[in-house]
Structure 1
């Protein structure tokens, strides 16, 4: 058994709230709560204090749509063949049609609204009339040929296309986010049989120049010092493709500045799984995973890492069972969900050799 990261790190229970749906963090100290057919936006502290009845904004949706809230109380909605913006009363501000998504009639990713609410990043598919110019052999829909997807930069107020950049993906899934200062847009696309590809771009007056990127790593979050955190999953798509790892890249130079082979945390590297990496604050990253100790039933564990080096600090010691879902709140606290119970946690101490005194 690998003992790296086995030191126990205490946590502090900061409250429990009942919730009807899946919860994720949104900019501006808000929470997005999604139940079948409905997306609600709540003030974070009000919701976690148990005052969950009144949402600041709500939108009826379908399973085919992906939704992002705007700072002004509206929404940007990606659908099967368009992107549209709604005001806080549900009125349509603009709609941008695009070619229908391949594979299924649903949007592949949530639009990314910039921190200042002025720009939107979105990945869209592109049909190619000439079969000889298609990006790859695509036989799921014989009447359609696609070339590589486009990453679009849109004006959030008008829907005008401010920048367009082709990215080498035919995405079945895509995740994207802006850096906290709004200076970079990072997008990760998963293409069947080609794994994840990730790019970071710098929106500017000249369009959407790509600053850098990496392959087989997906966006996980942002670290202090203009760094992006990525995660690689063992997909077994290629020979020797059996490694789960984290990587930190400098957004300016594109260089990898830190890495962690997650086998260091594993009990059984062949079977253990690592689901995500959540940036808690300027000093800590949380990694949830499922391990198989002593050949017994799988167990959920959460590890704390040093945000600068990605080295393990220890394993979080919870008083109740936790699952694989973790929602970081950007203030050093985080959420775990157990059925309809939403728990908020903080670190009991951070004065460790790896983290330094706080």
Structure 2
């Protein structure tokens, strides 16, 4: 049954701020910097120089292998998760520390990138844990006979030394994990996808004893942070269980664990059974961006972006772009965002009327 194509259909103008040609993926990493990933290479660039097409060279760069998951530190270094260790590198490429751990299950590569706290003092990382006693192993995992795992550990590490300062077992056997710190550094949120159990998400707080678990939720993955110690999460229709067929957004208070807002994304859909919503991004203190792929009756699939109220998740309207956009959105943290056209063109936008001054294109 098709939904009426009316909710959130009011058009909202956007202003173009420039276009740049780029290979690879781009991620905002704070302090006016971008992380640019291409095959075998991670680079850190000044955001404005890179998007203006005037960046002569990277601020920092690191050659990587297929097994590595990498994040940058504020001082020009990197933290690298590999198949069986986490290591920190200085801006000169030298190794600061290495923390070995049990090898990841199912693949010879890391399943999760580390996350560095806003003040640079702590690093969070998810690691696997082998269990010698099969009776104590997590029964969900039987992919490698003779190698038993129990539930993963969430670690807090001292960024300078690699010392484990906090450890909590989380109920996941993650094939994929995403994690991020709240902007004030008061909490770290981690989401893990476990086969046949969907996403599970927890939030924890550094404390004198190391780490204290504050709360969590199931079947929702981390999407971003909102003012007032709130976390935005997204649920995907995975069809793992009866009636598991809805895409939705929810906001939780990190202190109380209370759900404070909820949106069934079917409200934005043209065809709820076919339309897909791949992500949600916090644009600023007042707005959330949601890209989706919808299927108008009798027409070709279309990519659309909606703007939501950050407090209530109420749809405000659909963004009216003057250029083609895809489903990928990169929010830059200053009220602007990037969309991709084709394989190598990034457009930068802000909310407002069309016709604003546009930078040159490289």
Report the TM-score range of the alignment, normalised by the length of the smaller protein. Answer: over 0.9
The 2-side partners of 1:100 and 1:78 are apart by 11
Unaligned runs of 5+ in 2: 354-362
Verify: 1:143 aligned to 2:146, yes or no. Answer: yes
**How far apart are the structure 2 equivalents of 1:317 and 1:272?**
19
Aligned to 2:348: 344
Deviation of residue 72 (structure 1)? 0.5
Give 3-state SS (helix, strand or coil) of 2:223's partner: strand
TM-score, normalised to structure 2, is 0.95
State the 1:18 CA deviation.
1.1
| CA deviation after TM superposition for structure 1 residue 301, in Å | 0.2
TM-score, normalisation: structure 1: 0.96
Q: Distance in 2 between matches of 1:215 and 1:295?
A: 37
Equivalent in 101, 119, 124 of residue 121 of structure 1: 124
Q: Which residue of 2 aligns with 1:132?
A: 135
Report the Cα distance in structure 2 between the residues aligned to 1:72 and 1:260, rounded to whole angstroms: 39
Task: Number of aligned residue pairs: give it.
Answer: 349
- Asked whether 1:159 is paired with 2:162, we answer yes
Tell me the SS of whatever aligns to 1:143.
coil
**How far apart, in 2, do the equivalents of 1:125 and 1:260 lie?**
34
2:319 to 316, 319, 333: 316
TM-superposed CA distance for 1:240, in Å, is 0.3
User: What is the CA–CA distance in structure 2 between the aligned matches of 1:51 and 1:108, rounded to whole Å?
Assistant: 34
Match of 1:68 among 64, 67, 71: 71
* 1:137–1:230 distance in 2 versus 1, CA, 3 Å: closer
- State the partner residue of 2:271: 268
Equivalent residues in 2 for 1:1-358, closer than 5 Å: 1-338=4-341, 339-348=343-352
CA distance in 2, matches of 1:192, 1:285: 29
Aligned to 2:358: none
**Within 2, Cα distance between the matches of 1:259 and 1:319?**
31
How many angstroms does 1:2 deviate by?
A: 3.4
Residue aligning to 1:356: none
Q: Is the partner of 2:65 in helix, strand or coil?
A: coil
Higher RCO, 1 vs 2 (CA within 8 Å, ≥6 residues apart):
2
Rounded to whole Å, the distance in 1 between the matches of 2:153 and 2:48 is: 37
Query: What CA distance in whole angstroms lies between the structure 1 residues aligned with 2:37 and 2:186?
Result: 29
Per-residue deviation, 1:137: 4.0
Segments ≥4 residues shifted beyond 6 Å: none
CA–CA distance in structure 2, aligned partners of residues 263 and 138 of structure 1: 34
Which runs of 5 or more residues in structure 1 are unaligned?
Answer: 350-358
Q: Cα offset for 1:52?
A: 3.3
